[in-house]
Amino acid sequence: MVIVNEKICDLCGTCVAVCPVDCIELTEFDLIINDEICIRCNICIKMCPFAALTSKTSEV
């Protein structure tokens, strides 16, 4: 799943625009990533200008 570091995120909306399945929602105060829709393409992680997104595997 994709994790957002809210201390770094500028709420710029770039990740929302690049997500191919529209699973990122930007509100006035935070970013919500719907992990059930996310296809783990990692485009948002590459495109975030602030490197606020990281990927975390749920498998141990």
* Binding interface with ligand SF4 (CB under 6 A): 2, 4, 9-15, 18-19, 21, 23-24, 31, 33, 38-44, 48, 50, 52-53
- Amino acid identity of residue 30, one-letter, is D
Which helix (H) or strand (E) segment holds residue 43: the answer is: helix 43-47
Shortest CB 30 distance to ligand SF4, Å: 9
Shortest CB 26 distance to ligand SF4, Å: 6
**Residue (14 or 60) nearer to ligand SF4, CB:** 14
Cα first-last separation, the chain: 13
Which helix (H) or strand (E) segment holds residue 53: the answer is: strand 53-55
